[in-house]
Amino acid sequence: MEDRLVRFALFGQEFTFYSDAPEADVEEVVEVLRNELEGTDGEYVSTVPSSKLLVLGCLRIAARYVKVNREFNAYRNRQGQSIDELIDKMSDLD
């Protein structure tokens, strides 16, 4: 896929970057960041520089990622244990 220029506004500023990701993915990523930083109403007024707000948003998203990753690993371990127990029960039937 070829890189294309992506533009979006955040905090009243326009940001641009190149991406080879599908349009739908880019829109979803920008929407997640916008919701994380501006809230659902799309309005955010602050005296904090936008660069600091963006770093804060990235840290919040990274924290959510770490939590989801831990939850997924715990789920995967539970599923593995359940499968092992089921295999043991099936083996006992023989």
Model pTM score: 0.66
Query: Taking residues 54-70, what's their average pLDDT?
Result: 93
Identify which of 2-11, 16-25, 41-50 has the greatest average pLDDT: 16-25
The answer on pLDDT for 13 being more than 70 is yes
Query: Taking residues 11-32, what's their average pLDDT?
Result: 90
Distance CA(8)–CA(14), nearest Å, equals: 6
Q: Provide the pLDDT for residue 27.
A: 92
Helices 50-93 and 23-38, axial angle in degrees (round to 10): 110
Contact, 61 vs 67, CB < 8 A? no
Residue 47 has phi, psi (to 5 degrees) of -95, -5
Task: State pLDDT tens for residues 74-84.
Answer: 999 999 999 99
Task: State pLDDT tens for residues 25-50.
Answer: 999 998 998 888 876 555 555 677 87
